[in-house]
Copies of this chain bind each other. A is one copy, B any other.
Amino acid sequence: MPRKFTIAEIASALEALEGWQAGEDQIHRECTFAGHIEAVGFVVRVAMAAEVMDHHPDLRMVYNRVEIRLSSHDAGGVTGRDIALAKRINELL
């Protein structure tokens, strides 16, 4: 099982991750797109990357806005798997 990061470790990891913020036992990011079509294209890309990494985000889409929350439920917080997926998501933006 991946190890749960401390608040300091999360803060340190997020320094290199543009757009992500730390919440309680999760990290999250919000993205806004030109329209709904572009938002859907992004959601599909994120969902594909997540399936390959076998680690799935909490994704919410309203028109052109996408909110992503990442957490490792088995570890009860943020782990290296969330940071890795956040990096991958930023590459896909």
Q: Residues on A close to B: CB < 8 A? A: 36-38, 40-45, 47-52, 56-63, 92
A contact face: mostly helix, strand, loop, or mixed? helix
A19 to chain B, nearest CB (A): 18
Contact call A48/B58, Cβ cutoff below 8 A: no
Quick one: closest B residue to A67, CB to CB? B60
Q: Which residue of B lies closest to A88 (CB)?
A: B37
- Rounded to whole Å, the gap between the CB of A91 and the closest CB of chain B is 9
Question: Can you list 14 pairs linking A and B with CB atoms under 8 Å apart?
Answer: A36-B48, A37-B45, A37-B92, A38-B92, A40-B43, A40-B45, A40-B47, A41-B41, A41-B42, A41-B45, A48-B51, A51-B51, A58-B60, A59-B60
